Amino acid sequence: MEGINNLETPNKVSEKRKSVLSTPYKNIPPSPFMQKLGYGTGVNVYLMKRSPRGLSHSPWAVKKINPLCNDHYRSMYQKRLTDEAKILKSLHHPNIVGYRAFTEASDGSMCLAMEYGGEKSLNDLIEERYKHSQGPFPAAIILKVALNMARGLKYLHQEKKLLHGDIKSSNVVIKGDFETIKICDVGVSLSLDENMTVTDPEAYYIGTEPWKPKEALEENGIITDKADIFAFGLTLWEMMTLSIPHINLNLTDDDGDDDTTFDESNFDDEAYYEALGTRPPINMDELNESYQKVIELFSVCTNEDPKARPSAAHIVEALELDGQ
pLDDT tens-digit readout, 52-83: 554 456 677 888 877 667 677 777 778 888 88
What amino acid is encoded at 87 in this protein?
Answer: I
Phi-psi map region of 133: left, alpha, beta (phi>0 left; psi -120 to 50 alpha)? left
CA angle centred on 195, ends 145 and 146, rounded to 5°? 5
Four-way CATH pick for 120-255+262-322: 3.40.50.2300, 3.30.9.10, 1.10.510.10, 2.40.50.140: 1.10.510.10
Rounded Cα–Cα distance for residues 100 and 294 (Å): 34
How high does pLDDT run on average in the chain? 82
More confident residue, 239 or 118: 239
225 is catalytic: no
Looking at the DSSP bridge assignments, the partners of residue 103 are 111
Half-sphere exposure of 82 (CA within 13 A, CB side): 25
- pLDDT at residue 262 tops 80: no
The DSSP call for residue 108 is S
Q: Are 214 and 277 in contact (CB under 8 A)?
A: yes
* CATH class name, domain 34-115: alpha beta
The residues, ordered by sequence, that sit 6+ positions from 272 with a Cβ below 8 Å of its Cβ are: 246, 247, 250
pLDDT grade for 4, boundaries at 50, 70 and 90:
very low
pLDDT grade for 322, boundaries at 50, 70 and 90:
confident
Per-residue pLDDT averaged across 233-258, rounded? Answer: 75
- pLDDT at residue 112 tops 60: yes
**Lowest model confidence (mean pLDDT) among 34-48, 121-135, 191-205:** 34-48
Q: Structure pTM?
A: 0.80
More confident residue, 72 or 132: 132
**Lowest model confidence (mean pLDDT) among 109-113, 141-145, 193-197:** 109-113
- pLDDT at residue 277 tops 80: yes
pLDDT tens-digit readout, 222-241: 999 999 999 999 999 999 99
Give the pLDDT confidence score for residue 30 in this predicted structure.
63
pLDDT grade for 265, boundaries at 50, 70 and 90:
low
Burial 178-211 (b: 16+ CB within 10 A, else e): eeebbbbbbbbbbebeeebebeeeebebebbebb
Total Cβ atoms within 10 A of residue 14: 14
> What is the gyration radius of the CA atoms in the chain, in angstroms?
20
The residues, ordered by sequence, that sit 6+ positions from 255 with a Cβ below 8 Å of its Cβ are: none
Give the pLDDT confidence score for residue 10 in this predicted structure.
35
Give the domain ranges of the chain. Answer: 34-115, 120-255+262-322
Give the pLDDT confidence score for residue 291 in this predicted structure.
97
More confident residue, 14 or 170: 170
Rounded Cα–Cα distance for residues 67 and 109 (Å): 8
pLDDT grade for 250, boundaries at 50, 70 and 90:
very low
Per-residue pLDDT averaged across 134-162, rounded? Answer: 97
Rounded Cα–Cα distance for residues 216 and 219 (Å): 8
Catalytic residue from among 166, 185, 225, 228: 166
Rounded Cα–Cα distance for residues 259 and 22 (Å): 54
Handedness of CA 251, 124, 128, 139 (dihedral sign): negative
Give the pLDDT confidence score for residue 218 in this predicted structure.
94
The residues, ordered by sequence, that sit 6+ positions from 314 with a Cβ below 8 Å of its Cβ are: none
